[in-house]
Amino acid sequence: MLNISNINSFYGEVQVLKEVSLHVDQGEIVTLIGANAAGKSTLISCISRTVKSFTGEIQFEGKTISNLRPDQIVDLGLVQIPEGRLLFPKL
């Protein structure tokens, strides 16, 4: 369903992701755990294409999405909701 291959990402000259690969099957639940500044949010931002400075390939349902715009990725059903946002504050 989601296949991430050899992702490298940089903020300026600082490499924050190095050769990250991950495969998630349909129905599988995956948790990213790591210290502050370990690259968890950067990886999610690479998937949603809100971080554009990366190399490697990301596929969703067999289709390469590494070159799509963020709105096109949302249309595929991949959505990033940042931590701490109250989407429904009264619930």
Q: Residue 54: what pLDDT?
A: 84
Low-confidence ranges of the chain (pLDDT < 70): 85, 87, 91
pLDDT of amino acid 57: 95
| Look-up of token digits 């500044």 | 37
Strand partners, 64: 59
**Backbone dihedral angles phi then psi of residue 60, each to the nearest 5 degrees:** -130, 120
Question: Residue 36 is encoded by which pair of tokens?
Answer: 């502050």
Looking at residue 85, its pLDDT comes to 67
Domain 2-75: which CATH class?
alpha beta
Question: Where in the chain are the domains?
Answer: 2-75
What's the count of helices (H) and strands (E) in the chain, helices before strands? 2, 4
> Quick one: residue 3, left, alpha or beta (phi over 0 = left, psi -120 to 50 = alpha)?
beta
Model's pTM, two decimal places? 0.82
